[in-house]
Copies of this chain bind each other. A is one copy, B any other.
Amino acid sequence: MNIIEPKSGASLILKKGEILKVTDIEGCQVSDMLLYNLNNHDEKISAGKTFDYEECILLTNGNYLWSNQSNKMVKIIEDTNGRNDFLLAPCDSKTMKHFYNISEYHPSCFENLYQGLNKFGIAKETIPSAFNIFMNVIFNEEGKLNVAPPTSIAGDYVCFEAQMDLIVALTACSALDSNGGSFKPIGYDVLENK
């Protein structure tokens, strides 16, 4: 298994048909994921399109994640925990200031995502909301939301089957409240389709 150290990130190419398995090694740790079309960087993961086509805010086993150009990017084919978030944008330095009053340097998902994407020539200005694996954002019918600790336990994983050739960026999230108060690693594997 490839290891993403706490508060860091990784990026990779995932070819059509391959499966990305993302594992919460210790439990209670979020991983932000971004997807770009390998052959057209203008096409990328879109929360708004996914909510529209899947007719659901909460995405798990059987759901697709869609692009801003209305194409399927990945299918979720396994999800042992079942709770992920697609509402909230990646934490950044201003998030750290706003919610934690951290003014000095602190790693963030935004930084870790754009550093991973940079080697593929993708600019940070293009970064949309990420799919937040294991993140537990609770909301009611009036729309009020709060970030609760992930319900994932050690060894929980989500498998994504690529529907097109993709660039993937992943993090081990750097925002304390999203991860139940401590920073932990994330694991990932690329598997051949059976």
A87, A90, A94 interface centre (most CB from chain B within 10 Å): A87
**Is A52's beta carbon under 8 Å from chain B?**
yes
CB distance from A95 to the nearest CB of B (A): 7
Given known pairs A48-B47, A48-B129, A51-B88, the reply for A70 and B57 (CB within 8 Å) is: no
**Is A68's beta carbon under 8 Å from chain B?**
yes
- How many copies of the shown chain assemble into the complex? 2
- Interface contacts beyond A48-B89, A70-B95: sample of 6 additional A-B pairs, CB < 8 Å, sorted by A: A51-B88, A52-B95, A56-B144, A57-B144, A69-B94, A126-B126
Q: What residues make up the interface of A, taking CB atoms closer than 8 Å to B?
A: 42, 46-49, 51-53, 55-58, 68-70, 87-90, 92, 94-95, 98, 125-129, 138-146
